[in-house]
Amino acid sequence: MVGSWAASYAAHILAATLVEEILGYNTTTTIGADVASGSVAGYYGIAGCRTFNDIADRGCMKGVTYYHVGLETWMGYPTDWDYIQNTYTSMVPKNLGSMGYAGVSGHWIPNEVQSHAYSTQGKALEFYRSWNASWNQPSNFFSSVLSIDRSKMALCNASGGVLANDAIMRRHVRWTGDIDGVVINNDTDTQLCQQTPTGTNWKYRGNLREAFSKGAFG
C-alpha cells in the first residue's frame, strides 16, 4: 500500500526488490495505480476498503483486501487506527513494528528564503510566530498568492473534503482555538471558506487566514 510521499515510494521499491531478488517471490506495488493519499487512507486500504481515499465513504467490508503490506505508514493517528480496529474486526491491519527510524512532519521553507528574511529584516521564518501578518510582513519573502494555479486547488466547501469533515474540524478548533475559522450549522463544524478576488473558494487553514490573505503563503 504505497503512500503519496517520496519516502513511501522509496521504502516500497526497496522492499519489493529485496523480496524478489533475495526471497524469490513475485511482488506487485500500487506505484502508478492506487496510491494512498496519507497514512490513514493506507490503514483503510490494507483493511480492504475499496475507496480508501474517500473520507466520506471508504468502501469497507466489500470483500477481500488487495493490499497486504504498507511501509512508511505513520502511526500518529490513534483515533482513526482504533476506529478501524474496533469496527472492521475481520479485516483489521496489524502494526508489525517500526521501520527503524523516527520521522516528523511540518512546514518546509528553503534555506535561501530563511537566510534572506533573517539577514534583511531579522525575521526567523522557521519560527511560526514570525508568520503573524498583524506584526510582520512574511509575504515579502514569497510569491503572491495570486500566482497560484487555482485549477490545481480543491474547493474548500467540496463534498467529502477534509474541511467539510465535522470530526476533523472539531479537532482543529480544540487544538488551535480558532473558532473564527469554522462555521457551525446544526451543531456541525465546517471550515470557513475565504472568497478570493476571482470568486473562487480556496482550501486553506483557518488560523492562518490573515497571513494567507496577505500573500504570505504564495
Cα separation of 63 and 40, whole Å? 20
Cα separation of 215 and 203, whole Å? 14
43 pLDDT exceeds 90?
A: yes
| Domain assignments of the chain as residue spans, ordered by start | 6-87, 142-213
- Backbone phi, then psi, for 60, in 5-degree steps? -85, 165
Percent of the chain with pLDDT over 90: 28
The model's confidence at residue 88, banded by pLDDT at 50, 70 and 90, is very high
All residues at 6 or more sequence positions from 196 whose CB lies less than 8 Å from its CB, including other chains: 150, 202
Cell of 16: 519489493
Quick one: pLDDT at residue 196?
46
Quick one: pLDDT at residue 198?
45
Closest CA to 11 of 83, 88, 73, 97: 73
pTM score: 0.59
The model's confidence at residue 41, banded by pLDDT at 50, 70 and 90, is very high
Quick one: pLDDT at residue 178?
74
Cα separation of 169 and 150, whole Å? 23
215 pLDDT exceeds 70?
A: no
202 close to 194: Cβ distance less than 8 angstroms? yes
79 close to 40: Cβ distance less than 8 angstroms? no
123 close to 136: Cβ distance less than 8 angstroms? yes
| Average pLDDT across the chain, whole number | 79
Cα separation of 152 and 155, whole Å? 10
Q: What is the pLDDT of residues 120-159, one digit of tens each?
A: 989 898 888 888 878 888 888 888 878 878 777 766 666 6
